Structure 1
Amino acid sequence: MHVYLPIAEISVNIFLILGMGGMIGVLSGLFGVGGGFLMTPLLIFMGVPPAVSVATSANQIVASSVSGVIAHWRRGNVDFKMGLVLLVGGVFGSSAGVALFTLLRTFGQIDLVINLSYVVFLGTIGLLMLNESLRAIVRSRRPTVRRSKLHQHTWLHGLLLKMRFRRSKLYISALLPLGIGFFVGLLTALMGVGGGFVMVPAMIYLLGMPTGVVVGTSLFQIIFVTANVTFLQAINTQTVDVVLAVTLLVGAVIGAQFGTRLGAKLKGEHLRSLLALMVLGVCAKIAVDLVVTPADLYSVDFLTGRG
């Protein structure tokens, strides 16, 4: 059964889209990520224009994140105070990102920027996470060896505006989570991601938050940042495909509940290693597509009449 996407201007199998939404929902509940780092490339691989994929993925992330937050909140795994600080930075970052997205789209460079951003950020974050998670797994299997602390305080934590985050057991400068939130908000607008693949490692390694609290708090911040991106994209670029977004939402809300239950059964280092492998897989696929010679060397732009 196929459905026509009016903004993307293509027909897609509705059951395939529902399945993709469900899979992303599972990732949301399992890893504390919005799933956009996987959803956006998958939509592009299906033939959806990159600009539409980015804007629509941001919209889909909202529902899957809400579903995941509710499940984690019931378990007491959300630091709302930290989430609000991250959110303030995220709102400013996402607003700046939409403005940059609009500018790049005007110059016709947005597709290239989106693909290159995925390769650079996914590759870097994936390698760092995989390295750390494998080290953690090895240490956990050596009970006689004294385990080192996951987090060490640096001069960044001693900056101005220090705040106490009781749920995360931290007393650090609010400037650090504000900066992380701003950067992730920028990525959300440019890449159509919730930013969880950057947010989760940053919250663990830079802020020093417990892994169990990170997932729910990350999803809480993602809800409002992606909602802001969706609103601004719809107004400024008109690239949000409502039909595609709603179809993805249905599967995502259901999948997030299963992901949350599964995540509660896995260790933190195992979750991080699985996420790292998934990130690197998507990065490799995009990198290959950028360098491999296409089957059709020439195409016609029907909107402008240019070859």
Structure 2
Amino acid sequence: MEHIFFSGSFIFLFIGMLGGILYPVLGNAGIYMIVPLLMLLTGLPADMAVPIGLAHFAALIIPAAVGHWQTGNLDYKLLLLIMIGFIPGLFLAERIQLNLYVFIPYLILLVGAIIYKIRPFALLPKPNNHFRKITLRVINQLPGKTFLTFSGIKVSFIVPIIVGGLLSFTGKLFGPIAALLLCPILIICLDIPVMVAVATSTVCNFIGMLSFAMWNDFLMIPLNLKILLWLFLGSSITVLVLSSVIKKKLYPVPVAALLVLITSFTLWTLMLGQPGHQVLIQQFSFPSNLLGWFGGVQG
């Protein structure tokens, strides 16, 4: 480990823009790539890259979470049960330390996303799938049934709590890629209606990712907040540009423009409150020292 001064923030802005470009190319898989990009391009260790990636992902899905909440497809009771499982999952994850292994699920996701773009394949099993029927049968036999009025089904309260624990455990260790788990589990294992599953999982992922980031004292470190804002500024500018020029808009243009304005103002305010502040971090020297001044790296 060595001390490296970042004289500028070009690299973080670039990574955010790259994440925004990957979004329409790879679908949702693109916005999960911030964690490996941070680790590869700046050498940040996993315990710093993961909470930054979590907060970045939470910020990006704010419009989607608000939209699903407004449409009224959110199952509040299911959401509450999942959130109850967050805390034990976080405590369990605290006992495990990962670094390079964080790359593995992102590498699998990247390969899968590329294959899907070339030759699409079924992402979820069909309703009459044999293994799905077995899974539903086993879950239906569990005790502690509670009726989810909004979803219109009975389910053991143990299951969504376990799902919440699994989400927080994987999120704490691997970052935003954990968000991929929730919606398929709700549809396949709990037989939640698709629209309700999508809405509930989106809002739950927003709350969860932000909570996991704050669990790491993320907002208590000005450096982390500054890196996050540069990343999000790059992503939101890219999303604004793409939403303005492509037919399939990522965000409504006014929403994307508002995100850029809010992020810019917040970043300006933060930097104004720390005049002359140079970003100092401890990180691995390779490969970030190859980026030169453009990456803001000064030995």
SS at match of 1:46: helix
AA aligned opposite 2:75: D
Distance 1:206 1:240 in 2: 40
Distance 2:188 2:141 in 1: 16
Distance 1:239 1:113 in 2: 27
2:60 is the alignment partner of 1:67? no
Distance 1:219 1:57 in 2: 16
Deviation larger for 44-53 or 174-183: 44-53
AA aligned opposite 2:50: V
- Other-structure match for 2:39: 44
AA aligned opposite 2:191: G
After TM superposition, give the deviation of residue 43 of structure 1 in Å: 2.2
After TM superposition, give the deviation of residue 253 of structure 1 in Å: 6.5
SS at match of 1:171: strand
Q: Give the one of 119, 123, 129 matched to 1:133.
A: 123
- Other-structure match for 1:269: none
After TM superposition, give the deviation of residue 186 of structure 1 in Å: 0.5
2:98 is the alignment partner of 1:115? no
AA aligned opposite 2:60: S
Contact 2:140-2:155 at 8 Å conserved across structures: yes
- Other-structure match for 2:14: 16
Q: Give the one of 168, 176, 185 matched to 1:185.
A: 168
Pairing 1:296-307 to 2, within 5 Å after superposition:
none
- Other-structure match for 1:163: 146
Distance 2:59 2:43 in 1: 21
Count of aligned residue pairs for this structure pair: 236
AA aligned opposite 1:133: L
SS at match of 1:163: strand
AA aligned opposite 2:52: T
Any unmatched runs of 5+ in structure 1?
1-5, 105-109, 137-146, 262-294, 297-307
The CA deviation string for residues 227-265 of structure 1, in whole angstroms up to 9 with x for no partner, is 222222127x9697211212233466785995477xxxx
Relative to structure 1, the CA distance from residue 111 to residue 224 in structure 2 (aligned partners, 3 Å threshold; closer, same or farther) is: same
After TM superposition, give the deviation of residue 68 of structure 1 in Å: 1.5
Relative to structure 1, the CA distance from residue 217 to residue 113 in structure 2 (aligned partners, 3 Å threshold; closer, same or farther) is: same
Pairing 1:81-92 to 2, within 5 Å after superposition:
81-92=77-88
Distance 1:59 1:125 in 2: 23
Relative to structure 1, the CA distance from residue 38 to residue 19 in structure 2 (aligned partners, 3 Å threshold; closer, same or farther) is: same
Contact 1:94-1:185 at 8 Å conserved across structures: yes
Contact 2:20-2:235 at 8 Å conserved across structures: yes
SS at match of 1:195: helix
Distance 1:213 1:260 in 2: 21
2:79 is the alignment partner of 1:79? no
Distance 2:193 2:164 in 1: 18
The CA deviation string for residues 45-92 of structure 1, in whole angstroms up to 9 with x for no partner, is 323414222121112222223321101122223222211111111232
Any unmatched runs of 5+ in structure 2?
244-248, 253-285, 288-299
AA aligned opposite 1:67: P
Relative to structure 1, the CA distance from residue 135 to residue 89 in structure 2 (aligned partners, 3 Å threshold; closer, same or farther) is: closer
Same amino acid, percent of matched pairs: 19
Contact 1:163-1:174 at 8 Å conserved across structures: yes
- Other-structure match for 2:261: none
- Other-structure match for 1:144: none
SS at match of 1:172: strand
Distance 1:112 1:100 in 2: 17
Distance 1:85 1:73 in 2: 17
Deviation larger for 172-181 or 239-248: 239-248
- Other-structure match for 1:94: 90
Pairing 1:152-231 to 2, within 5 Å after superposition:
152=133, 153-193=136-176, 195-231=178-214
TM-score (structure 1 length as normaliser) = 0.61
Contact 1:40-1:54 at 8 Å conserved across structures: yes
Contact 1:91-1:228 at 8 Å conserved across structures: no
Distance 2:205 2:171 in 1: 9
SS at match of 2:10: strand
Distance 2:56 2:5 in 1: 15
Contact 1:162-1:174 at 8 Å conserved across structures: yes
SS at match of 1:133: coil
TM-score (structure 2 length as normaliser) = 0.62
